[in-house]
Structure 1
C-alpha cells in the first residue's frame, strides 16, 4: 500500500530539505511553462535568554521536542529550572530543529546556544503546507509528485532518548534496525553500541543455568559480606543552588540573638479568627502574624531591611518589605518571598503565603517569587526544633528562625498563681559588619511586643 503526495513544484526544494532527501532523488519532469523557485534556508542558533535577575545558568528538566521536529513560534520547547523555579521555554522561530545542545539534567548557560534551527528566509512560503509534507518521511518521487511507502519506518517514532539519537545520527545508524532491550521497547545507549560492535553483546546463555550442578556441600566457613560501593552524585537543582548560596553566606560574619516569647494571647486570637478566615477562603496560621510583626518592627529598625554594597562600602536601605519564607518542597528547601508586607493586612499576607505554599508543593514557583527578598523568616517549629542558628541569605543582612511551640506552666506576675502558657523560642542572625547587638535586640523586642500583645496590630 502506498500514499501519493502531490507537492507544488515551487515547494520541491523545501520538501526535500525537510524530508532529508537530496534533490537528485526527486524524480520528475517539470512543465516548461512553470518555474521552480527554491526557498532559502539558513541555520540559526536559539540562545537561552535571560530568564531572571542574576541567573547565569539553568538545568534542563525536560524536552518537549526532538531533533528533526518542525515547530512554530510559541511552541513549547523545553522546561528548565533556575534558582529553584521551573520555566517553560518557547520557540521564537518557525522551522526545523537540527540540534539540541543539552541532554536532560545538563546545565545550560544564559546567552549560549540551546537549540539550532533551520528556518526559511522566504516569508511568503506556506510553512503549514510544507510542515504537513514533512510529516511524510523519506520515500520515492515519481514524475511531478512524490510517492511514499506506508511501510517506511519513521525513526522519530522509536522510543529512545535524544542522546541515543545523537549517537545513532553521528554513526549513520537506522534505529529501526537496532534491537531494543529497555522497558517498553526503549532503545538504550548500549543497544546502539552493540549494533556498532563497540561493546560485546550481552551473554544470556548462562542466565538459565542452575546455580549448582554438583551435590550441595554446606560450607562451614562464613563468607564475609562485601561492602556496598560508594555512590557519587553530582549536585544539581536545589542542592546546587544551596551549595553556592551557603558558600557565599558563610563569608559573612554572623552573630545570633535568641529570646523566649509568650504567644498565649496570639493563640486565642488566631483560634477566634480561624473560622472567619476560612469563610473567606483563607487558611490562617501563626506565620502571617509573625510576618506582619516583622514588617512593623522593620519600619522602626530599617537597617535590618537593607543590603550591603561591598564594593562602594555602603548600605542600601530597601523601601519594600519583601519577607522571604523558608519552605520545604519535593525539590528541597526553597525561599520565596511575600511582596510588600508593609502595605498588606494579615489576611492579605495569609492569602499570599498560602498561594506560595500551594505552588511550591506543585513545583510551580516562578523566578519572580524569589527575586528582591529583603528579610527572611524560617519556621523550624514545623519539624520540632527549638533553637537554631539561622544562616543569612545574601544580599540580605538578617534572618529569624522560630522554634516549635511548647505549653508550660507560668507564674502570673508576682503572684503564686500558675497558668497555662504557650511559649516559642526565636533566634535572629545578623550581619555583624553593619548590625550591632543592641540594634538586633531592639528589633527582637519590638517584634516580641506585637506577638505577645496581638491587639497592638489593630493600632496599625
Structure 2
C-alpha cells in the first residue's frame, strides 16, 4: 500500500511512526492528519469537525481510520449527539467492514441547525380549527375557464376615467359585483346549513368574503350587502379591508357574517386552487391569474384570449353539481359580457 509516496514494509511495527518519518517537521505542524492511514474524504471529515486523526482509533486494516471511526470518536467527545444507529458501531456489521469506505454520514455531522417551536395564535390558530372542521364536510369542486377580454377592457376604462386619485381599480370589484348578481338567480349558493335541525338558511345579504394573506396569517373579511353596492363602493370598501388586514386592525364585524368566499390566489400566482369551505358557508371560489392563451376560431386560426380559471368548492350536503354548474355559467356570462351586468344591476 502506498501512502504519501512511502512503501509500507511488510514487517509489523508502528505504521504511524513509519509514515511520520517521511513527513517534514513543517508538514507535521501544518496538518493534524499527516501519517495517519485514511482516505481524503475521511481526512476532510476530520478537518471539518476539528478532529485530530492521531487521536482516533482506526479500525481498518493496518490501523486505517474509517468514516465510522470518526463518527464514533465524535459521539464519544460530544461533538455530535449520541444515537442508537452509531452507539453500537463496534458491533454493527453495516459500519465495520475493514477498509470499505462507507459513504453514509449522519445528518448531525452535516448540519448544526436547531429546531424552533412556534406556537400558533390569532388568525393561525383560528385557521387550524376552521380547516379541521371543514375537512369533515364532503366537498366537490367545479372548474371552469372564463374569457376576461371584456373585463380587462372594463378595468382599463375605469382607470383611464378615474377622478379619485386615492382609488385604484382592479379586476376584483367587478368580479365581486357580478358574483352577487349571479347569486340573486341561484340563492342556494349563498346559504348556510344547520346540521342539527337539517335546515338550509338562504341568506338575504350578500356578504362576500375575500381571503387575504397577511403577516399574521390568513384572514377572510367580508364586504357587507354587496347586492346594494356599486362597483366603485365595492372598490373603496375592499381597499379599506385590505389596509386594516395588513395592519392587523380588522374589527370583529369585518370578519364575521360572511355568506360566500372568494380566494384570489391568482394575485400571488398559480392558475387555480382547490379551496376548502369557510364554514358555515356552503361555497367558496378560488380564482387564478388572468393570462393570455391561444384559442382557435372555427376556421383554425389562432387568436389571443385573456383567460381566468375558477374553481368552485361546494358543500355536497347542500349543493349538487348541476346547481353549481348553472350558477357558474350565469357568473361566467356576466363577466364575459359586462353589458348584461349593467342591465341587471340595481
Please give the alpha-carbon distance, in whole angstroms, between the structure 1 residues aligned to 2:29 and 2:282: 71
Q: Pick one of 217, 227, 245 that aligns with 1:342.
A: 227
Deviation at 1:283, TM superposition (A): 1.3
Partner of 1:458: 342
Distance 2:190 2:162 in 1: 29
TM-fit CA distance, 1:272: 1.2
Match of 2:198 in 1: 313
Tell me, in whole angstroms, the C-alpha distance in 1 between the residues paired with 2:161 and 2:247: 27
**Aligned mates of 1:278, 1:331 — CA distance in 2:** 34
The answer for the alignment partner of 2:171 in structure 1 is 286
The gaps in structure 1 that reach 5 residues or longer are 1-214
Decide which structure has greater strand share: 1
- Structure with the larger RCO, 1 or 2 (CA within 8 Å, 6+ apart): 2
Q: Deviations for 1:4-32, whole angstroms, at most 9, x for unmatched residues?
A: xxxxxxxxxxxxxxxxxxxxxxxxxxxxx
Gaps of 5+ in 2: 1-27, 34-45, 50-108
Partner of 2:290: 405
Aligned to 1:273: 158
Match of 2:324 in 1: 440
Equivalence for 1:52 = none
2:189 maps to which of 296, 304, 311: 304
- By how many angstroms is 1:234 displaced? 1.8
Matched, 1:370 2:255: yes
Tell me the alpha carbon deviations over residues 188-208 of structure 1, each in whole angstroms, 9 at most, x when there is no partner.
xxxxxxxxxxxxxxxxxxxxx
1:421 aligns with 2:338: no
- State the Cα deviation string for residues 288-324 of structure 1 (Å, max 9, x = none): 0111111011111101111111111101111000000
Verify the 8 A CA contact 2:272 2:309 in the aligned structure 1.
yes
Q: How many residues align?
A: 245
TM-score normalised by structure 1 residue count = 0.51
CA contact (8 A) 1:378 1:402 kept: yes
State whether residues 277 and 347 of structure 1, in contact with CA within 8 Å, keep that contact through their aligned partners in structure 2: no
Moved more, 415-424 or 251-260: 415-424
- 1:449 and 2:262 equivalent? no
CA distance in 2, matches of 1:360, 1:369: 10
- For the 8 Å contact 1:322–1:338, the answer to whether it is kept is yes
TM-score by length of 2: 0.68
Q: Name the CA distance, whole Å, in 2 between partners of 1:270 and 1:362.
A: 27
Q: Compute the displacement of 1:280 (Å).
A: 6.2
Q: Secondary structure at the match of 1:283?
A: coil
